[in-house]
Amino acid sequence: LREQLRHLEELQRLDARLQEIDRLAVALPKQLAADQEDLGRIEALLQRERAQLQETEAYYEKLQDQVKSEEGQFHKSKQKLGQVKNTKEYLATQREFETLKQLASTHDEELAKLQAAMEQFKQSIVAHELDVNKLRGHLESSSQRTIAHVEEMRAEAVTLRAQRDAISKHVKPDLFKRYSTIRIRRGLAVVPVHDGVCKGCNMSIPPQLYNSLQRANTFETCPNCQRIIYWSRLMEDDSATTGA
């Protein structure tokens, strides 16, 4: 019985690791893909910001040219104002002069706003470039690591499965069947009972059952969680497998 239990516990350990490997083999590449998507999002954002900056710069230059030509008009208008010959002409020129003055002040404000916007774009671009570079560097190394790690785990799984097959040959077929059924349903299939408490479900087992566990002649099942149970002291010298 002790030997059978030891086999079952070893089986359980191998199965747990195999399950973990299966989980990681899916989860790690998934995480990598998610990180790559993040990078793609920031890169797209960066591209949009660069395009916006370019557009703003183009508009700024256009406006600057316009302002220059308006300045020319303004000076002309000012000169004209000094040379007018009658009131009617004066009033018209005065109106033109005021309009141009107003336009110049509006455009100055607009240019200042554009400059501030361009400055902001530039700062944001620099920050996002840093993010992209950091993330890209991280992804490069982590993707290589992940691929290597998954490879290693696959190789490990092959070894573990071979060990599992070898051990399962030593387990009595009906016990093995019982083990497999519980394992699929509950994860842990074989658990110790310590001080009358099942370590699988943390419930007390009936004293009678605890007594027969201590005699260790038969395989018993926890009445609450249906796991295969054994007396914890029975395997105590087997430190590698108890208490897991």
- Binding residues (CB under 5 A) for Zn ion: these are 198, 200-201, 222, 224-225
The residue (of 49 and 220) whose beta carbon lies closer to Zn ion is 220
**Would you say 157 or 229 has its CB closer to Zn ion?**
229
Structure tokens at 213: 């566990």
Q: Which is nearer to Zn ion, 53 or 198 (CB)?
A: 198
Nearer to Zn ion by C-beta: 28 or 198? Answer: 198
CB of 225 to Zn ion, least distance (A): 3
What is the nearest approach in angstroms of Zn ion to the Cβ of residue 147? 41
Q: How far is CA 12 from CA 2, 23, 172, in A?
A: 15, 16, 15
Question: CB of 237: closest distance to Zn ion in angstroms?
Answer: 24
Q: What is the distance between the alpha carbons of residues 40 and 132, in angstroms, rounded to a whole number?
A: 9
Secondary structure (DSSP) of 25-93: HHHHHHHHHHHHHHHHHHHHHHHHHHHHHHHHHHHHHHHHHHHHHHHHHHHHHHHHHHH--SHHHHHHH
CB of 168 vs Zn ion, minimal distance in Å: 23
Minimum separation from the CB atom of position 40 to Zn ion (A)? 48
Residue of 5, 13, 22 whose CA lies nearest to 163: 13
Among candidate residues 200, 42, 238, the one with its CA nearest the CA of residue 128: 42
